[in-house]
Structure 1
Amino acid sequence: MANKHTYLILTILMMIWGFNVSAIKILVEQFTPIAVTSIRVLIAGITAFVYLSLIGVVRLPKKKEWGYILGGTIFNVVCHHFFIAEGLIRTSAANAGLILGLGPLITVVLSMILLKQRPSFFRLFGFIIGLIGVSITVLAGTSGVGGNWRGDLFVLSAILSQAFSFILIKKAAQSMDTRLLTGYMTTFGAFILAALSLWKEPGGFGSLANINLPLLGILLFSAIIATGFGHIIYNYSIGKIGPSETSIFLNLNTFFSLVGAVLFLQETFLPAHLFGLLFIVSGVLLGSGGLEAWLIQRKRKRV
């Protein structure tokens, strides 16, 4: 798949993921959060393995690959989905979407630390700008510091854990098809989430007994399209073009999250959200190296 096709598919995926923030918020407000999350992730895992069986890439992992599967399961599936579910109970989809937009910057910073990449002035400055944007976003809610900040912190923890998993996925891609890695991570993660629900939410699965058709449609969209195929596509792209470049597309996720929150949840888009968005996008452009690469390319053309 040529890179331009990868970029197009990632753009479409970001729209799906952006709207999925609203879908998840609806689900965790209607059902017990971790229980419905485990069901959603399990359906995604089944979807992944059905697809992988059809294209003939299913195999047992090698001994050294189990470490990547375990790490990816914990950070990419369990921690990420647990924190998203807990966060969206306590904060708005608009706030969550903006904080998720910090993902590219966090991924770049972790790439610098774990992959021994030396940060430039632009990237360090971008990190500071991005943090300012998140701070503005966290304080944007009408309930101020005493209200939404706990939910915002959960969402920030979700993107931190996911960004770390992207580094693991990039390393795993050297020997394992990342689509197969996604299938194993998602399936194992679903059972861990189910165990967490049984421990933290006694009787939580009973909340799903009276699910109606519209909510079932939202659940299947989130599980099959956004989570199942979505993570297969995204993790495959990480192995193909790298974690930093792939994560840049999460900026679009931020935009579509805000659009979805306004369209589907009738949430209010505050002026402070706009300021937060501007700081976050500016921070990502600087921190990811996008602006720096453009300046270098422009200088070379002049020469």
Structure 2
Amino acid sequence: MSKPILYVSMLLLMMIWGFNVIAIKVIVEYFAPITITAFRILTAGLTVMIIVWIGKEYRNVTKMEWVYIVIASLTGVLGHHFFLAVGLANTQASNAGLILGLVPLMTTVFSVLLLGDHLTISKFLGILLGFFGVAFIVLNGNGRLSSISIGDLYIFFSVISQAISFIFIKKGTRTLHSRFMTGWMLVIGSVCLFMTSLLLEPKGLSTLQSGTSIVWIIFLGSAVIATALGHSFYNKAIHHLGPGETAIFINLTPFFSLVGSYFFLGEQISLLQLAGFIFILFGVLLGTGVLGNEWPKIKLHKKRHTTIS
């Protein structure tokens, strides 16, 4: 798959994920957050594994590949979705949007530390522009962050967990098909989430009776389209583009969340928020190397690099 097609596909995926933030917010308001997240991720995992089985992509996994799968499951599924679900239930959407915008920055840091990646000037400026654009969007309401809450900390922990998982997804997909790895990650992570929900939400299963048919449709759309198919493609993009470059696109999700809020919740979009999107757009163009590709690299390491295998 060529880079232009990957970039367009990533743009569409970020739109889906932006709308998915609204879907998750609706879901966790009806059900116990961790419990419903476990079932949502399990539904996504089983969907991916069915696709893997139909496509005859299933195979035996080596010990080292299991290490990558398990670590990615614990960080990218258990850690990320646990903190995201609980965080969204305990903080404002604006705060969550800004903190989630830190994913590219954290991913780049871990890519440099664990993969020995170089940080180019254009990519560095792109990340800064993207972060600035996210700030424009999420701070539009009152121009400042409210005091840090426990929900804010949970969202930040979800950012760290997801950034770490991208590194091990990159390592795992060197030998594993991205969809195959995604399926195992989602299934293993959902089981861990369910065990966690039994401890933290002992009455969580009883809340599943309170959902309406529309809410369950939203649940299925979030699980199958955004999580199952979305994460399968995203992990494939990590394999082709690398974790740092791929994560830059996540800066687009707050904008699409705003668009979804406008169409589905009747909220208004201001000129300041549109200005934020422009910063994000140029941030993505710089960060992915579409612009400024000829700029020199920042030497953050010595000539001889060591990476974790």
Bin for the TM-score computed over the shorter chain: 0.7 to 0.9
Q: Tell me whether 1:32 sits opposite 2:32 in the alignment.
A: yes
Distance 1:260 1:118 in 2: 36
Distance 1:7 1:131, change over 3 A: closer
Counterpart in the other structure of 1:261: 261
1:273-292 deviation per Cα after TM superposition (whole angstroms, max 9, x unaligned): 66766666666666665543
Counterpart in the other structure of 2:180: 180
Q: Tell me whether 1:62 sits opposite 2:62 in the alignment.
A: yes
Distance 2:9 2:148 in 1: 33
1:35-69 deviation per Cα after TM superposition (whole angstroms, max 9, x unaligned): 11001001001101111111001123111111001
Which residue identity lines up with residue 156 of structure 1 in the other structure? Answer: F
Distance 1:265 1:80 in 2: 26
1:95-121 deviation per Cα after TM superposition (whole angstroms, max 9, x unaligned): 433433332333222212211234355
- Native 8 Å contact 1:244 1:288 kept in 2: no
Counterpart mapping for 1:136-147 below 5 A:
147=147
Counterpart mapping for 1:61-140 below 5 A:
61-121=61-121
Distance 1:31 1:141, change over 3 A: farther
How far is 1:134 from its partner?
Answer: 6.6
Higher helix share: 1
Distance 1:279 1:153 in 2: 26
Between 238-247 and 280-289, report the one with greater CA deviation.
Answer: 280-289
Which residue identity lines up with residue 203 of structure 2 in the other structure? Answer: G
Distance 1:134 1:282 in 2: 12
1:68-104 deviation per Cα after TM superposition (whole angstroms, max 9, x unaligned): 0111101110111111101211233344334333323
- Native 8 Å contact 2:72 2:168 kept in 1: yes
Return 5+ residue gaps in structure 2 as ranges. 297-309
Distance 1:155 1:294, change over 3 A: farther
How far is 1:161 from its partner?
Answer: 1.4
How far is 1:30 from its partner?
Answer: 1.3
In percent, how many aligned pairs have the same letter? 43
Tell me the secondary structure at the aligned position of residue 119 of structure 2.
coil
Aligned length: 296
Which residue identity lines up with residue 157 of structure 1 in the other structure? Answer: F
Counterpart in the other structure of 1:156: 156
Tell me the secondary structure at the aligned position of residue 12 of structure 2.
helix
Counterpart in the other structure of 2:201: 201
TM-score between the two structures when normalised by the length of structure 2: 0.82
Between 181-190 and 167-176, report the one with greater CA deviation.
Answer: 167-176
Tell me the secondary structure at the aligned position of residue 117 of structure 1.
coil
